[in-house]
Structures are given as structure tokens and as C-alpha cells.
Structure 1
Amino acid sequence: MIRIRLGAQGLGSVRFAVSPVGSAGDLLSAIGSSASTLAPPWRTRTTHALSRHRLGLLAVVGAGGPRGYAPDFLRPEPHAFQTDIDTALHQIATTPHDRIRYELTAAVGGHSWDPDSSRPAPRQLLGALDRGEDHFARRLADEMARFWHAALAPSWSAVRARLEADVTARASDIAHCGLAETLNRLAPNLEWHDGELVIHLLPGSVHQLTLDADAVIMTPSVFVDRAVFCAAEPPGAPDPRAPLIVYPAAKADCLPSAQDHPLIGAMRLKLLAELSQPRSTTEIAQRLYLSPATVSYHLQILHRAGLVTRTRRSRHVLYQRLGGTKPGTR
């Protein structure tokens, strides 16, 4: 069990973020520890990317991690709601040396909560570390970049649209029932109780941790079905960062194809119903009695998901549903 004591100030500093490199890390972890939970297209694409591009070090360190631990520096702290992939990769490549050494102590020597582990650290990991922390960080960033472009980038528009829609739904929940109740709804093993965020681990886990925090970052993921805790910061940890909790995004089928991305919410269904022919943001807003800003926001998400086309005619940008078919039909 993990307990994060926040208090009133910390609760007020809880924020949400969408992380492309975090999603790649979740996909790696899933293929390493629970591949059967992934849809077959994701399993095929992930294993193909790892083998074709010879991403052996990334597979050892990130796909479940040696001794069951994936170092937190592979999931840099997002400093904004959305961090682009290049910025995140730069964060990995420039991880401070003492942070790398601190985190890899568990990978090489075993967890402090599992001192009896007798499994040796993988030779590939030890060999990479022998060349120094700079080389180690740069190589992992390079392998993560190749994995991202091969496995996740082709579907990122659809995945990102789902993650953004999830955060939008959570914002609505906060407005209607408050932050504490919203946190209780994020995952079956996550609860807010007496000023603490409590993460219940899998049966049989002996890991116990309680820490104080001034903030927590919540990131949705399409590749987890339980809350996952990252970035434990006990006293004395170098280059400390805010605790980060990955939680399962709202249920929907998410396959490696933008065309298969499900529509989330009645609003976007209404918009698609209006787009059997090209229409501008202003025209749709007038037809549905909405503000142009609201329509523009939803159209941007539909466009990134690959569900509508966008063309410019004179001074107007026109949107149209792909194929001109009715929503929900093929």
C-alpha cells in the first residue's frame, strides 16, 4: 500500500497531464508484465518495434524493468498539461547523473522491500552502465524515440484524443462533485481518505510507503487497468520531483487505427451529424446554438483523431466527416 499525505494545500495542487512518453512507457510495461491485457494489434506492433529496431536495453529497463522496476527517469515529470515527445526525450537524455545512480540502485541491487531477491541484474544493463551515466541516458532516449515512432506515433492522434476526452470528463466531475470524489472514481485501487491518496497494490505485494507531498500529477493511460504509482521521493532523494499516478482512461476500444477510435460524448456525435457536408466552425455553432469556441475545441479533437477532414476555402476552414457516412455506421 502506498499513502501520499497531501493536506489541503497539496490537494489544491493536484493537476492532470497527458504524456506521450508516459504512454509509451505504459505500453512497454504492459508488454513486459501483462501482454495478455493488450489488444492483439498493440501486442504485434510493440514486439515488432522492439525486435526490428533492436531496442534491447529499452526492453530490459522499460518493459517491466529488471527485478520488476522501471526507473522513473524514463517517465520525466510533465511540466505542462501536454509535453511534446521531443521535450520529454531531451529530459531523459539529460537526466542528472546522481538521479540515474539513485534509481538504478534498485535495478541492480534489488528493492529495499525485496532484499532477498537473488536474480542478477541483466548483463545488457550492466554493460551499458559501464560506459557511464551520460551514455546510458542518451542511449535510452534514442531507443525510446525509435520505439515511440514505430509503436505509438501512428496512433497517437487517436490515443491523445481519448486521453484529452478523459481529462475533460474529469474536469466536469470536479465541477459537479468535487476533486475528492473525482479522485475516488479514477481507479478501483485508488482512494482519497482522511487527507491521503491511498494506492492499493496487487495481493501479495509487501511494498509499504508513506510520504508527504505538496502536489500530485495524475496522468490517464489507455494501457493500464489499475492505478500505478511513479516517482517515490523519500527524504534525501536527488533531483526530487512530484509524485505521479497513472490511472486507466475511461473505457473505450483503443486499437492502433485512428479510424477505430470511439467517439466520446454526445456533443461530438452531434457535431459529426452536422458534417455530412463541409461546414465552417461558425456555421456549425449557429446550427447547434453553441459558441464558436466550444465547437472549435471539439472539432480539433475530432480532427486529431482522424475522424474529420479539414480544408481551407478562401478565408474559411471547412470540416467534413470522413466518408460522409452517419456516425456509428460503416
Structure 2
Amino acid sequence: MIFQDGLGIRSNFYHSYSKFLKEKFNEEVYKISLATGGTCPNRDGTKGYGGCIYCSSFGSGKETSKSIKEQVDLFLSNVKKGKKFIAYFQSFSNMYKNKDWLIEQIDMLASYEKIVGISIATRPDTVDDEILDYLKDKSSRFFIQIELGLESSNDITLQKINRKDESKTFLVSCERIKEKIPESHLVAHVIIGLPDENFYDFENTVKFFLLSKSDGIKFHHLYIVRDALIYNQFENGKVKLLSEMEYIDIFLELLKIIPPEKIIHRVKSSMIPINLVAPLWTMDRFFYEKLFKRAKEKRIFQGMNYGNNYFNCWQD
């Protein structure tokens, strides 16, 4: 699957990831999402079992028996556009318990001329210094991107979702990464709509992200998949999901307080799980048109609370 941020449609009111990559590489760049078959410390018993309550048993990616090389070769043989790609180690925590394997895979990917970047998703508590040192050495060959799961800055929420970690770990890990690899592109992954959270919590999470050395933020709306722990809570009426317009309005309010230089990697989840239960608007192909229309109505743009008009495309 080719991953974009979905923002080819009129996204001039904020600093989209696709725009950032085009500026950096002078052409369109796409992600190759890779299933890694790993695990997490709150799955294997190191910190807990079952994983975060919203996670599928497959993690954030898709289950596959194919090797990384087979996945890349299959993708490149089918792709119809794009000359440059970022290999995205997506599912589970990719710096956890598999450092030798990860290093071996990245060494292998260096032989692909079209692959210009490496993106690694991992939990903040699994950031590994040996891997960071290796990535520093590889930064002359690859654009290095590291995605850390912040999810929420509310530690009570983190307990409720079985995260088995604290928000401060995120800040500490950001410091470590930027100290080791100053040129790396650091991304915070946050979830909007977690159980019992409200706009105050969402706003605090974004402000917490801004305290870190992160370069960008990736938003994810809470959705329910059938094999996640949260499914039973949802079925019993204990979890309320945001409507599409509620989510759009929340995102736009948060956009106001994000400085123009920060990259918006994603507005909502771009994948549609095969076992999706709710919300059905996850599949709405007109989502970005609705977002644009609402932003235009409210004349909202990124960083407007800072008095910076760089992304003000609504000026008469």
C-alpha cells in the first residue's frame, strides 16, 4: 500500500507530511509499510500482557509471512508511480528485542536505490542506544525518521489503556534520540478520543508534544477493531467514539496551537482494518473534503494562535 497523508486535496492551511517530503526531496516520496512480526513489552510479559487496549493482535500493521525483502520487492513490482520511497517499520515496537534483525534489514535495504529513507515506529521505553548509534552511521545514506508512541500525556489515561508506561518517558527518549542523531526526523504519535478524555486532555497532549524535540506529529482517531481488548468495553457501551465532525473540529482547534514549522504527518488513521467495527466514518473517502470545507468556514490554519500567517490561505 502507498501511504500518503491523504492531503493531495487542498492542504495549504497546514504543513503536511507530503509537502515536507516534496520540499526535502524535490519530488513525491511514498512510504512502504512493512509488517515486522515483532512484539511489545506490554504483550510479552516484560511489563504486561495483551498490549494496549486498542491494538489489534497484528499491531498497527498487517499480518504477513513474507520477509522484509519479499514485501519490498512485491511492493516495488506493483507500484505504478513514485521514484523514491521510505521503508516504514510499522507494526509493534521495532527497537524491542530484535536489534540484530533490524540492523540486518536496514543493511539489506541500502541496496535499493529507490529507498531514500528509513522510518521506525517504536515505544519510547524501547529506544535502544545501540540502534541509535547504528542509525547515526546510516544517516548519510538514509533520511532517518523515528516515530514514538506518545498517545496521551495523561498518565491516568495511559494506565487505563494498559500502556504500562509514563508520559515522561517520551520526553526522555526524544532527548536521547536528538542527542545521538540531531539530523533525525522525530515524530510523536497521538490518539484523539481515548476513553474518558476530553478536549482539555487532547490540548494538553499537543502542548506536551511541543515541549519535546519532536519535528512532527501524527494524529490517530480512536477506532475499534474486533480483536482488541477495548472491543468488549465498546460493545457494553463503556466507550464513546467521536463523530466525524467532532473529530474534525477538535483537530482544527489543535491545529491553531501547533507552530508552522511542525509537520503534520497525518490527520487521522489512513489504514482501514479488515476487522474494523467503528466508527464507520473511518472509511469516508470524503473526509479530507469535509476537513477543508470546515477549515475554510472557520478560517483556521496551522499556527494561527502564534500570529504567524504562513499557512493562512484564507486571506482575501
Task: Give the TM-score range, shorter chain.
Answer: under 0.3
Q: Which gives a bigger RCO, structure 1 or 2 (Cα 8 Å, sep 6+)?
A: 1
Looking at CA atoms only, which structure, 1 or 2, has the larger radius of gyration?
1
Which protein is richer in helix relative to its size?
1
